[in-house]
């Protein structure tokens, strides 16, 4: 041990690998040692054998200046969101969230009243999702606010759903609608800039309650998990849509070793999202594919269940599963096919 | 929902409550909802019913500039320490750690090579403690490095130990020795200052390997948990010594609704710690009482087990449990009695 340990001369920026490349790089040599560890890194949650059931475990960080801006994110909403996005990971495994721990690092600019607001949101979400806050850690930071939530859930062993089970010819289904949270963020950013330029101005958010709620108070897809259970359907694969539809499609396809084709004209976008995208001169489908933070669920099911979904407004069939050799494709409204990328589809790059 | 939600006019600084007061304040209204939540906030780990066994869950944050200084903390040691301090919380419940999740927020000054070093330490600790890394989150931060580790462990239901079970006349026992980690930190701070004043100087850390190791590479008390099991002894209460002996004595006494008296001349301090304290003109007993980061275990046992411990160098009987009405006391070498406070004992305040 020495103060003088030689510093590495290599300086490869993290951006070279990207978030998922970095996780792959850091976890590629893991060998699981404990027999009750069923599934480690690589899905929405880890899976632990509890005997009768499986336990699901997931951790998410929310960092000020990266994931939220307290300039327009009320602390109570932030607290709620920090729980909801973790519960969403449990939903993505077809499970039910039960407990959370909350780690909090904050600078001394935060008062007790501010923390009370944050925790009011955390407890509201705990109440809504039936989750117990069982522990955590509270510490100071040199700057800003950082929230780390770990959620514990459970699922009957025979009901657990991984990213890896999609089969050729399965239907690809998306819950709710997409792109709204991203447009809510654009709206908040625009109003913040206008407010900074003219602080006496009142923000005009009329008619945009829906997209704002999707950004500021997202909900985990608990109701969809209940519907699936009532329909007696276990998806073959599932993931939550935190990074945009295209990124999640690629995750399912890669984990399941299949290809997935999705159709532009099937992607569910709410009309308020559509209108606002037009106002921003944005393509709403790009927002759905790449925007992120919608926390809807994306899953695959066998075609035998087609009749159960074709008329349900909560669920939209957006595509189907193919052999891996066909790759991942986006069929535009004009019928042309484009390779799907994490950024959307290649047509965007023109 | 509005951007214009009125900001609270109250601005009570967090420092007014202190860390433990803040946790009490934020968690005082929790009502546990799930029947498998056995114990929530208020011990070293939460307790979840897994059927055959109890699961233990604990979260700790390590924040740059608050908990560590990368000026002298090698990243590999930091990774190791971030796991060890969490495993220590599982030991404090008489359990065995099984899985961890790691949340990491870091600024763009960190390279892939730096993260590889950090993870090398994390994996080394996982190997050493038989723990699986099963998940986590990796994100950027606007400044600095923040590590959030959640550890999952397990314990036979009949063997779980809380802070709350100490009984009048129980013996109070401390593992290993105390104060070394704090003096290691003083030494590193001194050498860093001297290096900053004269960068060509070689740090002189000769003969201080022990205190440096205690600060830079602390170990969780797994071996003591094994010894207790072999001796067929279940402590009546237990806690890990992360904040100094006096703070932990007060936690056990408060949770168990008893008083505790400890003796200055019984407190275990290594001779290298003693020598270095003299060099720094510090009282080594103050370092043991208030220094923190030793990650030893403090526990109480029935007097019937006295013979099993009286000759074991790993365990030191430092005091005994009294009725709560007698308060918490520190008996100095001269025989005088002083009320024990979180900062040590009242004599320090003169």
- Per-residue pLDDT for A270 more than 80? yes
- Phi/psi zone of residue A293: left (φ > 0), alpha (ψ -120 to 50 degrees), beta? left
Give the per-residue pLDDT at B345.
63
More confident residue, A60 or B12: A60
Render the burial of A84-111: b for 16+ CB within 10 Å, e for the rest. bbbbbbbbbbbbbbbbbbbbbbbeeebb
Q: Which of A72, A125, A135 to mutate to test the interface with B (most CBs of B within 10 A)?
A: A135
* CB-CB under 8 Å, B119 with A1: no
Residue B307, classified by CB atoms within 10 Å of its CB into exposed (0-12), middle (13-18) or buried (19+), is exposed
More confident residue, A171 or B193: A171
Tell me the pLDDT band of B5, cut-offs 50, 70 and 90: very low
* CB-CB under 8 Å, B141 with A65: yes
The verdict on residue A201 lying in a domain is yes
* CB-CB under 8 Å, B1 with A216: yes
Which two three-digit tokens encode residue B50? 């897994």
| Angle at B64 (CA atoms; ends A21, A25), nearest 5 degrees | 15
Give the per-residue pLDDT at A349.
39
Give the per-residue pLDDT at B344.
64
**In a shared domain, residues A106 and A175:** no
Give the per-residue pLDDT at A17.
82
Q: Which residues of A touch B33 (CB under 8 A)?
A: 126, 130-132
Residue A296's domain spans which residues? 171-349
Task: Give the model confidence (pLDDT) of B208-242 as tens digits.
Answer: 899 999 999 999 999 999 999 999 999 999 999 99
CA distances from A181 to A118, A241, A327 (A): 21, 11, 28
**In a shared domain, residues A120 and A259:** no
Task: Give the model confidence (pLDDT) of A69-122 as tens digits.
Answer: 998 899 999 999 999 999 999 999 999 999 999 999 999 889 999 999 999 999
The verdict on residue A314 lying in a domain is yes
- Per-residue pLDDT for A1 more than 70? no
* CB-CB under 8 Å, A130 with B34: yes
Q: Does the CB of A113 have a partner CB in chain B at under 8 Å?
A: yes
Among B110, B133, B159, the domain-final residue is: B159
**In a shared domain, residues A72 and A192:** no
Q: Does the CB of B16 have a partner CB in chain A at under 8 Å?
A: yes
The verdict on residue A14 lying in a domain is no
Q: Does the CB of B21 have a partner CB in chain A at under 8 Å?
A: no
**In a shared domain, residues A139 and A184:** no
Q: Tell me which residue of B236, B240, B233 sits closest to B92, measured CA to CA.
A: B240
* CB-CB under 8 Å, B12 with A135: no
Q: Does the CB of A73 have a partner CB in chain B at under 8 Å?
A: no
Taking residues B257-269, report their average pLDDT. 97
Q: Does the CB of B133 have a partner CB in chain A at under 8 Å?
A: yes
* CB-CB under 8 Å, B3 with A191: yes
Give the ipTM of the model, two decimals please. Answer: 0.91
**In a shared domain, residues B42 and B116:** yes
CB within 8 Å of B232: residues ≥ 6 apart: none
Among A111, A132, A158, the domain-final residue is: A158
Give the per-residue pLDDT at A199.
81
Q: Which residues of A touch B39 (CB under 8 A)?
A: 134
In angstroms, what separates the C-alpha of A235 from chain B's closest C-alpha? Answer: 23
Indicate the number of domains in chain A. 2
> Residue A123's closest chain B neighbor by CA?
B30
Q: Does the CB of B125 have a partner CB in chain A at under 8 Å?
A: no
Task: Give the model confidence (pLDDT) of A311-336 as tens digits.
Answer: 788 999 999 999 999 999 999 999 99
What percent of chain B has a predicted confidence (pLDDT) above 90? 79
**In a shared domain, residues A314 and A337:** yes
**In a shared domain, residues B40 and B186:** no
- Per-residue pLDDT for B350 more than 50? no
- CATH number for the domain that contains residue A114: 3.30.1330.10
Give the per-residue pLDDT at B202.
74
The Cα–Cα gap between A55 and B56 comes to 13
**In a shared domain, residues B59 and B129:** yes
Give the per-residue pLDDT at A344.
65
- Per-residue pLDDT for A234 more than 90? yes
Q: Does the CB of B134 have a partner CB in chain A at under 8 Å?
A: yes
Which two three-digit tokens encode residue B203? 């740090």
The verdict on residue B6 lying in a domain is no
**In a shared domain, residues A336 and A207:** yes
The verdict on residue A29 lying in a domain is no
Q: Which residues of A touch B155 (CB under 8 A)?
A: none
Q: Which residues of B touch A139 (CB under 8 A)?
A: 19, 61, 63, 66-67
In total, chain B counts a number of residues equal to 350
Q: Does the CB of B20 have a partner CB in chain A at under 8 Å?
A: no
**In a shared domain, residues A131 and A195:** no
- Per-residue pLDDT for A265 more than 60? yes
- CATH number for the domain that contains residue A316: 3.90.650.10
Give the per-residue pLDDT at A310.
77
Taking residues A255-272, report their average pLDDT. 97
**In a shared domain, residues A112 and A180:** no
A209: nearest CB among B1, B22, B32: B1
Task: Give the model confidence (pLDDT) of A296-313 as tens digits.
Answer: 999 999 999 999 887 788
> Residue A59's closest chain B neighbor by CA?
B136
Taking residues A205-210, report their average pLDDT. 85
Give the per-residue pLDDT at A297.
98
Give the per-residue pLDDT at B23.
85
Q: Does the CB of B2 have a partner CB in chain A at under 8 Å?
A: yes
Task: Give the model confidence (pLDDT) of B95-115 as tens digits.
Answer: 999 999 999 999 988 999 999
The Cα–Cα gap between B103 and B81 comes to 15
Give the per-residue pLDDT at A147.
97
A17: nearest CB among B112, B134, B202: B112
């Amino acid at each position: 041990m020495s103060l003088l340990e030689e510093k590495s001369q290599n300086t490869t920026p993290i951006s070279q690998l990207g978030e998922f490349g970095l996780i792959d790089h850091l976890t590629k040599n893991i060998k699981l040692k404990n027999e009750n560890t069923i599934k480690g890194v690589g899905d929405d949650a880890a899976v632990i054998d509890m005997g009768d059931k499986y336990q699901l475990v997931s951790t998410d960080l929310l960092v000020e200046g990266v994931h939220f801006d307290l300039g327009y994110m009320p602390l109570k909403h932030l607290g709620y969101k920090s729980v909801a996005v973790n519960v969403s990971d449990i939903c993505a495994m077809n499970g039910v969230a039960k407990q959370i721990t909350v780690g909090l690092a904050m600078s001394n600019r935060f008062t007790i009243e501010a923390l009370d607001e944050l925790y009011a949101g955390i407890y509201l979400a705990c109440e809504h999702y039936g989750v117990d806050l069982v522990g955590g850690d509270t510490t100071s930071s040199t700057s800003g606010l950082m929230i780390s939530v770990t959620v514990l859930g459970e699922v009957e062993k025979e009901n657990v759903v991984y990213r890896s089970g999609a089969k050729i010819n399965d239907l690809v289904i998306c819950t709710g609608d997409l792109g709204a949270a991203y447009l809510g963020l654009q709206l908040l950013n625009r109003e913040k800039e206008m407010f900074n330029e003219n602080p006496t101005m009142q923000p005009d958010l009329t008619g945009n309650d829906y997209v704002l709620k999707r950004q500021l108070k997202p909900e985990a897809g608990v109701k969809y998990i209940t519907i699936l259970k009532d329909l007696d359907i276990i998806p073959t694969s599932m993931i939550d849509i935190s990074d945009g539809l295209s990124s999640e499609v690629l995750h399912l396809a890669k984990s399941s070793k299949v290809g997935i084709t999705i159709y532009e004209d099937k992607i569910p976008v709410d009309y308020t999202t559509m209108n606002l995208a037009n106002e921003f001169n944005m393509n709403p489908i790009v927002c759905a594919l790449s925007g992120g933070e919608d926390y809807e669920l994306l899953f695959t099911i066998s075609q035998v269940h087609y009749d159960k979904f074709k008329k349900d407004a909560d669920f939209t069939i957006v595509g189907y599963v193919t052999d891996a050799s066909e790759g991942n494709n986006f069929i535009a409204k004009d019928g042309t096919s484009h390779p799907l990328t994490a950024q959307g589809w290649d047509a965007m790059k023109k």
